[in-house]
Structure 1
Amino acid sequence: MKALKWLLIVSFLFLTFTDTATRRASAEGFADPITTNAASIVTDQLVLTMGSVNMVHNGKTYKSAQPVANIAGRTFLPFSSIAARYGYAISYDAQKKQSTAKSDKHELVFKIGSGYAYRDGVLTKLTGVPYISNGYLMVPLRSWGEMADSSIAVVGKTITLKWSTVVIPPKPTAAFEVNPTEIYAGQTMVSYIDHSTNPTGMPFVDERWEGRMDVFPDPGTYVITRQVEDTNGVWSEPYSVTVTVKLPNQPPVADFTTEKSQYRIGEEISYVDLSSDDENAIVKRTFTGNDKVFFEPGDKLVTLVVQDSHGLTSTVTKAVTVTSEVLYTKDEYYRLNTKVGSNFSIDPASVPKMPSIGYTINSVPSQMVRSNSPETLLQEGIAYEAQLTGQVRFMFHNVNKIGYPVKIYLLATNNNSTPVNVNTSSIGVGGPDPSVGNTAMASTSRYLTSIGSNPAPRWMTVRPHQTIEILPEISKTPLKLNDVISAYADIYSEQELQFHVVVVAAGKNPIAELPNLSVMPRDGIHVRGTFNNADRTIDINDTLGDTEQRITLGDKTIDKYLDGIDDTTGELQYNTGNFGTLYRLHLPHVAARTLIALNPRGGIYTGAFMVNGQVVTASLMNNTQAAVLYRTGNTEESVDFVFTLAGGSNLPIAMTFLPLPELRW
C-alpha cells in the first residue's frame, strides 16, 4: 500500500508540473507558429544516495558539499550543491540570514531556522526546517522538489529527482554587409555580403528584405533590413544597415597649360596640369606628345588623359606652337641638360674625327689575378691557382653552364710552418644575374665605391697546412644555370699563400673537395693569369675642352696589354683588354664649361667611373650613345678619374671632351 501511495504522489507531481509547464509555455508565447516547432522539452534526472556526497546528474557523477542527511525521518539536501545541479545562481544575505537560488524560472528564498520559504515571492510552508551543517545550509528534500517543479522517487536509500525544462533554441542572426561603402546614386552597383549565423547549425530556408536595391536611384539615407528563417521555423530578429547614397560622381576635367603660347626650337617647355575632379580623386594622369623640348617648328599636339578613382576619364588635346627660331640645337641642348650618368645621342662618325690626346702610362708595382678562363663553366674543378704574397687584386668573371647550381670560392692554403695573416679590403661583387651588363656595372661601381670609402681591412689567420675560405662574398649565393658573376677584391698576405679559385656544386664543402679537384683547361679565348704592374696612372697636363677632343682607352696601342703568367701551366699570358687593371687618370686643366662624356667604340659597354670621388655608372648599347660623366663649371677645374675597364664589355672606349654652348635665354 505504501508503494502504491508513493506512486500516486509521484504521478500527481509529474502530471502537475507537465501541465504547468505547458500552460506556462502557452502563456509566454511558445505556442506562436513561428516558435512552436523550435521549442523542446528536456528532462533532467538527479540520483542521490542517503548519507552519500555522490550526485549522479544525467549519468555524470558530482560531489556535493555535504552528504544527504536524514533528521527525524526527514531528508535534507545541501542547498548550494542541489541548486547548482538545477542551474540556479545562489546568493546569501548575511543580515537577513537567508539564501537565494535564482533562475530564469524561479526565485527560491530559504532562511535558517524558518519553517517557511518564498517561491517567486509567495510564502510556502516547508516540510522541514533548514539548518546549518559544517557551514552549509541544508534544505528539506520534499519542499525543494515541489518548489523546483520536480518529481521525487525514493527506493531504499536511493532518491531520484526529475524535472523538465522547455528549451527554446537561440535565434539565428541576420547580419550582412553592404559593399562598397561609397555609393553613388544611379551609378554604383551594390552587393550584399552575408554574415548571418545560426548557433544551432541549422541552414536557412527563407529570408525577408526591406529597402534592398542593387542600384539606389537617388541620393539620401536608406535603411536596409533583413531577417532569416532556419529549418526549425525560427526567424531572426531584424538586422538593419543604414547607408548614405551620394550624389552621382562626376567625371574629372582634364586641362593643362604652358607658361608661354609659343616656344623656340630647343627651348624647354613647362606643362602645368590644371585638371580637377569633384572629389579631388584623380588617380592617373597620362600625357602623350608632351616632349620637354622640340627641335622642329610647327604646332605640336599634346594630349592629357586623367582618370578618377571610379574609373571615369577625361581627355584634352592642345597645340603647342614651336617657332622656327633656334635657342639650342638638339646636340647643344642635350650636352647642356643630360643628367650625369645618363645618355645622349651622338654622331658616331664625329668621335674619330676629334683630335686624339696622347698620353703616357706610368705603371705602378702591383699584382692582379684575372680568373676569366674558362669564362663559361662546364665542369667543377679549380679555375685558377697561384702562390702569392703581398697586395693582390683578384678579378672574377664567369657564367655557369654546368647544368646545376654551383658556387665559386677563393681558398687559401698555408704551406708554411708558421701562421700567415691575410686580409681583404675593397670588394665589389655583381650577380649572380643572367645579365652580363648588370653584373659588370654592379661589380665595378661597388668596387669603386668601396675604394672611395677606404674600408678597414678584415684580417684572418691561416694556420700551418690549413686551408680557409678568404672571400665569402663571392660564394654567398649559388650561380644557377646561365647566371653570371663578376667581382673585384683587394687581398693582402703577409707571407706566401697558395690561392685556389674553386668551383663546386652548391652544398658541397669546397675545402673537403679540393684534394680531389683538377685544374680546368683554359677556353682558348679568355684570360687567366697573374699580372704585375697592374695599376696604371695617366697624367695629362694639357688644357682639355677648349675644342672637341678625345682620349682612347683599351686600344692596346697606347694602352698596351699587360703580360703575365698562367701559374697553372707556366704559359705567357697577355691581359687582353686590360680588364682588372686599375687606372688613375689625373687631368689638372679641364676648361670651364666642358662636358666629359664616354662613347663606346667597340660595342656594348657597361661599367662605372669614380669622378672626383663620386661613382658614376655608364650603360651604353652602341657608338651612337654617349654617357655624361662630368661637367665643369664656369672656371677651369682639376678632374680625377679612378676606374677599371668593366668585364663583359667591349673595347676600346673614348673619353670625349666637348665644349658646352653658351647659355641663352
Structure 2
Amino acid sequence: MKSLKWMLIVSFLLMSCMSTGAQNASAAGFAAPIDMSNANVANVTNRLDLTMGSANMVHNGAAYKSAQPVANIDGRTFIPFSSIAARYGYAISYDAKKKESTAKNDKHELVFKIGSGYAHRDGVLTQLTGVPYISNGYLMVPLRSWGEMADSTIAVVGKTITLKWTTVVIPPKPKANFEVQPAEIYAGQTVVSYIDHSTNPTPYPFVDERWEGKMDVFPEPGTYVVTHQVEDTDGVWSEPYSVTVTVKAPNMPPVADFTTEKSQYRIGEDVNYIDLSTDDENAIVRATFTGNDKVFFEPGEHSVTLVVEDAHGLTSTVTKTVTVTNEVLYTKDEYNRLNTKVGSNIAIDGASVPQMPAIGYTINSVRSQLVRSNSPETLIREGIAYDAQITGQVRFMFHNVNKIGYPVRMYLLATNNNSTTVNVNTSSFGIGGPDPTVANVAKMSTARYLASVSSNPSPRWMTVKPHQTVEILPELSKVPMKLSEVLSAYADIFSDQELQYRVVVVASGTNPITALPNLTVMPRDGIHVRGTFNNADRTIEINDTLGDTEQRIVIGDKTVDKYLDGIDDTTGELQYNTGNFGTMYRMHLSHVSPHTLIALNPRGGIYTGSFLVNGQVVSASLMNNTQAAVLYRTGYTEEAVDLVFTLAGGSNLPVALTFLKLPEIRW
C-alpha cells in the first residue's frame, strides 16, 4: 500500500516537474546532490517523441513546441539545444566570449560550441555526429550525440524519433514552520502560543513532531531558540525550523500618583491636579480620576482617587484628600457666572427673571420674504406641502416629521411658467436631521444656517428654461427621512423672475418631477403654520446702557415682538407666523457694561437653537426656565454686542436675554 501511494506521488511530481521544464531549472539554478540513501528515491523513465521536420514534441504524454523543427542535414538529425535541454530538465547558460552553450543538471555538464565537431561531457572531450550550427537564432545540436551524452536510448520508426532516459526523483520533504505570539513576551507573565504553519507536499497528515526549547511561559528574561520538526507518513522528517524568542524582564504595574498645586484651597477656587503617575515602560494608556472636582463649594476633606492602567492591563490606584477651608473666594453662583463655557448652562432662579426690569425696544422691519413650510408638521401622506409663486429674494424654512410609515424625501421644486429663462441662485443654507430628536434638529439647523450667513457664501447660480421644472436645494433631499425622523432647514434663494416653488414629499426612490402632476396639496394640520410672509427681517437697536443692574430683553412674546402676517398661497387664507419662526433678527446693543454676562433663559419650556454673537455661532440647549445658556461676557471695558438669530423651530417661546453682573476678579 505504501509503495502504491509513493508511485502515485512520484508520478504527480514528475508531471509537475516536466511541465515547468526549463523555467524551473533556470529559476532554481543547479540541483542539490541526490541523496541515494533515501529509501523513497525512485527511478522514473522519461519518453520524448519527436517528428522529423516538425516542431511538435510529446514528453511523457504532454505536447510541447520546439523552438525550431527537427532538421535533417546530410542524413544527420539536429534539434534546438534550448528545447531538448528544457525537456531533460537541464539548466542552460551561454558564454559569449567562448561562444559556448552549456547544459547542466545534478549528473552532467554538457558543453557545445558553434561550428565545432567536438563537445565536452563532464570535462571529457567527445566527438559529435554532426557540427552544431545556428538556425533563426537558435543553436542546433546533433540529436544522436545529445542522446548519448544524456544517457538516453534512441529509436527511429519512420519519421518518429523516440528518446528514453531515467530520472531519479526524490520526494520533497515536509517543511516545518511556525510563529510565536504575542510579539512582546515577558518573563514569568506572558502565556506564549505557537501557531503551526508547517506544510506537507502530500495530502496526508503529519504523524509526529519534535519541539526543542518550547515553553508556555519563559521563566527568565533573555534569548531562547525554539525548534520544530515534523514527520510525514513515509517516515521523512523535515529540516529543523527555528525561531529566536526575545523575552523581556517582567512587566511592572504602573504607579498611580498625583498632587495638587496647593495644600489647601478656598471655597470657589480652582483646583489644579498634577498627574505624577509612572510606568516602567512609560506605557500608561488610561488615567481615570474620580472626585476630582474642578472646584469645591463645601469646606472639609474631599477624597480624590486616580486609577492608571498600562498597555498590558495592569492597574494602580491612589487616593488622596483635598483640603478646602471655610474661606470663600466665590460662591457657586458667582463661580458659574465667571467660568461656565459659552454655550453651556448655568442655574438661575426662574422666578427671578420676570422680576428683572424689561428693556423696551423698537422693531424695524426690513423688506424681505419668508416661506414657512411647517403645516402639516406631521407628514401622514405623500404630496405637496406648499405651493407659491415668488419673485426675488426669499428665505425658506422647513420643519416636518415623517409619520407616513416608510422613508420619504423632501424636495424643493421650481417651475418656470414664463416664456423666458429664469436665473436662480441659492446662498446661505443650514439643515438639521433627519434625526428622531427634534431638539438636535432645531439646534443644528439654526447653527449651520447662521454659520453659513456669517461666511457670506458666493451664490450658486442655475437656469430654469421656459416651462421647465428643476430641483432646487439638492441638499434637502440627500438623506431620506425614516419613520418618526424630523427634518428642519433654512435656505436663502433668489430668482430674477417669478418661479412657482413647490415643497414636495414622496417615497424615497420616486422621481419627484415625474410624480408632480399626480400630487395634490396636503391639508393644513390646523396647529402649525405655512404661508408666505413679508418684512421677515427685523432689526433691533438698543442704545441704553445694559448690565449695570440685572435686566432682560424678551423675544417672541407677540406683544412687542408682534407676529408677522401673510398668506397661505395654497388656499389664499390669512396667516400669522406664530412664534415668528424663520424670521431673521439682527440686534445691536450699543452699550453693554464691563463685566456683564449675557445669558439666554427660556420662558416657555424647552428651547434649543443658536445665535451669532459678534460673528461667532453659539448654540444653546435649555430644558426649562431654571437654566440659562451663556452667550457672551464683556471684559474690562464697555462693549457693543451684535446678535443675529432666528428662533428655532420645535422650540417654545418666549425667550429672555438676561444681563447679569459678574463678580469682580478675586485672587
The TM-score with structure 2 as length reference comes to: 0.89
Q: Corresponding residue for 2:455?
A: 453
Deviation of residue 521 (structure 1)?
0.6
Equivalent residues of 1:78, 1:136 under 8 A apart: yes
Equivalence map 1:83-482=2 (5 Å): 83-91=85-93, 99-110=101-112, 117-122=119-124, 126=127, 128=129, 130=131, 132=133, 136-139=139-142, 141=144, 143-482=145-484
Q: Corresponding residue for 1:30?
A: 36
Which of 627, 632, 641 lines up with 1:625 in the alignment?
A: 627
- Partner of 2:514: helix, strand, or coil? helix
Letter in 1 for 2:36: F
Deviation of residue 611 (structure 1)?
1.0
1:54-91 per-position Cα deviation (integer Å, ceiling 9, x unaligned): 4432232533645354857x766665543332222344
Ranges in structure 1 where 5+ consecutive residues have no aligned partner:
1-26
Deviation of residue 243 (structure 1)?
1.3
Deviation of residue 224 (structure 1)?
0.7
- Partner of 1:387: helix, strand, or coil? strand
Equivalent residues of 1:540, 1:586 under 8 A apart: yes
- Partner of 1:362: helix, strand, or coil? strand
Instruction: Supply the distance in 2 between the matched residues of 1:77 and 1:512 (Cα, whole angstroms).
Output: 76
- Of stretches 183-192 and 534-543 in structure 1, the one that deviates more from structure 2 is 534-543
- Of stretches 60-69 and 271-280 in structure 1, the one that deviates more from structure 2 is 60-69
- Partner of 1:540: helix, strand, or coil? strand
The RMSD of aligned alpha carbons is: 2.4
Equivalent residues of 2:68, 2:79 under 8 A apart: no
Instruction: Supply the distance in 1 between the matched residues of 2:413 and 2:57 (Cα, whole angstroms).
Output: 80
> Is 2:42 the partner of 1:40?
yes
Aligned length: 632
Deviation of residue 546 (structure 1)?
0.8
Equivalent residues of 2:601, 2:627 under 8 A apart: yes
Equivalent residues of 1:422, 1:460 under 8 A apart: yes
Of structures 1 and 2, the larger Rg is shown by: 1
- Of stretches 269-278 and 407-416 in structure 1, the one that deviates more from structure 2 is 407-416
Deviation of residue 44 (structure 1)?
0.6
- Partner of 1:512: helix, strand, or coil? helix
- Partner of 1:85: helix, strand, or coil? helix
- Of stretches 103-112 and 306-315 in structure 1, the one that deviates more from structure 2 is 103-112
Deviation of residue 160 (structure 1)?
2.4
Q: Corresponding residue for 2:3?
A: none
Instruction: Supply the distance in 2 between the matched residues of 1:100 and 1:523 (Cα, whole angstroms).
Output: 97
> Is the alpha carbon distance of 1:86 and 1:655 closer, same or farther for their aligned partners in structure 2, counting shifts above 3 Å?
same
Instruction: Supply the distance in 2 between the matched residues of 1:512 and 1:62 (Cα, whole angstroms).
Output: 65
Ranges in structure 2 where 5+ consecutive residues have no aligned partner:
1-32
Equivalent residues of 2:588, 2:641 under 8 A apart: yes
Equivalent residues of 2:117, 2:132 under 8 A apart: no
> Is the alpha carbon distance of 1:65 and 1:613 closer, same or farther for their aligned partners in structure 2, counting shifts above 3 Å?
closer
Equivalent residues of 2:50, 2:161 under 8 A apart: yes
> Is 2:513 the partner of 1:511?
yes
Deviation of residue 132 (structure 1)?
4.2
Equivalent residues of 1:130, 1:140 under 8 A apart: no
> Is the alpha carbon distance of 1:71 and 1:79 closer, same or farther for their aligned partners in structure 2, counting shifts above 3 Å?
farther
- Partner of 1:542: helix, strand, or coil? strand
Instruction: Supply the distance in 2 between the matched residues of 1:634 and 1:494 (Cα, whole angstroms).
Output: 49
Equivalence map 1:59-74=2 (5 Å): 59=61, 60-63=63-66, 65=68, 67=70, 69=72
> Is the alpha carbon distance of 1:113 and 1:463 closer, same or farther for their aligned partners in structure 2, counting shifts above 3 Å?
closer
Deviation of residue 419 (structure 1)?
3.2
1:423-460 per-position Cα deviation (integer Å, ceiling 9, x unaligned): 32222221222221121111111211222222233333
- Of stretches 250-259 and 407-416 in structure 1, the one that deviates more from structure 2 is 407-416
Deviation of residue 539 (structure 1)?
2.0
> Is the alpha carbon distance of 1:77 and 1:642 closer, same or farther for their aligned partners in structure 2, counting shifts above 3 Å?
closer
Deviation of residue 477 (structure 1)?
1.9
1:576-602 per-position Cα deviation (integer Å, ceiling 9, x unaligned): 111111111111111110000011122
- Of stretches 390-399 and 158-167 in structure 1, the one that deviates more from structure 2 is 158-167
1:292-345 per-position Cα deviation (integer Å, ceiling 9, x unaligned): 000011100000000000100000000101111110000000000011111122
Instruction: Supply the distance in 1 between the matched residues of 2:410 and 2:438 (Cα, whole angstroms).
Output: 17
- Partner of 2:107: helix, strand, or coil? coil
Equivalence map 1:573-612=2 (5 Å): 573-612=575-614
Which of 539, 542, 546 lines up with 1:540 in the alignment?
A: 542
- Partner of 2:546: helix, strand, or coil? coil
Equivalent residues of 1:68, 1:77 under 8 A apart: yes
Instruction: Supply the distance in 2 between the matched residues of 1:95 and 1:587 (Cα, whole angstroms).
Output: 98
Equivalent residues of 1:202, 1:232 under 8 A apart: no
Equivalent residues of 1:372, 1:527 under 8 A apart: yes
> Is the alpha carbon distance of 1:654 and 1:98 closer, same or farther for their aligned partners in structure 2, counting shifts above 3 Å?
closer
Equivalent residues of 1:395, 1:489 under 8 A apart: yes
Letter in 1 for 2:152: S
Equivalent residues of 1:48, 1:68 under 8 A apart: no
- Partner of 2:87: helix, strand, or coil? helix
Deviation of residue 533 (structure 1)?
2.0
1:515-535 per-position Cα deviation (integer Å, ceiling 9, x unaligned): 221111111111111122222
Identity of aligned residues (%): 78
Instruction: Supply the distance in 2 between the matched residues of 1:535 and 1:71 (Cα, whole angstroms).
Output: 110
> Is the alpha carbon distance of 1:204 and 1:359 closer, same or farther for their aligned partners in structure 2, counting shifts above 3 Å?
same
- Partner of 1:443: helix, strand, or coil? helix
Equivalent residues of 1:65, 1:136 under 8 A apart: no
> Is the alpha carbon distance of 1:144 and 1:362 closer, same or farther for their aligned partners in structure 2, counting shifts above 3 Å?
closer
Letter in 2 for 1:663: I
Equivalent residues of 2:370, 2:394 under 8 A apart: yes
Deviation of residue 206 (structure 1)?
2.0
Instruction: Supply the distance in 1 between the matched residues of 2:424 and 2:56 (Cα, whole angstroms).
Output: 83
1:467-523 per-position Cα deviation (integer Å, ceiling 9, x unaligned): 222322212222122221111112223333222111112222222222221111111
Deviation of residue 628 (structure 1)?
0.6
The TM-score with structure 1 as length reference comes to: 0.90
Instruction: Supply the distance in 2 between the matched residues of 1:522 and 1:228 (Cα, whole angstroms).
Output: 82
Instruction: Supply the distance in 2 between the matched residues of 1:471 and 1:79 (Cα, whole angstroms).
Output: 76
Q: Corresponding residue for 2:20?
A: none
Letter in 1 for 2:197: H
> Is the alpha carbon distance of 1:297 and 1:68 closer, same or farther for their aligned partners in structure 2, counting shifts above 3 Å?
same
Q: Corresponding residue for 1:502?
A: 504
Deviation of residue 188 (structure 1)?
0.4
Instruction: Supply the distance in 2 between the matched residues of 1:94 and 1:393 (Cα, whole angstroms).
Output: 86
Equivalent residues of 1:169, 1:200 under 8 A apart: no
Equivalent residues of 1:600, 1:653 under 8 A apart: yes
- Partner of 1:333: helix, strand, or coil? helix
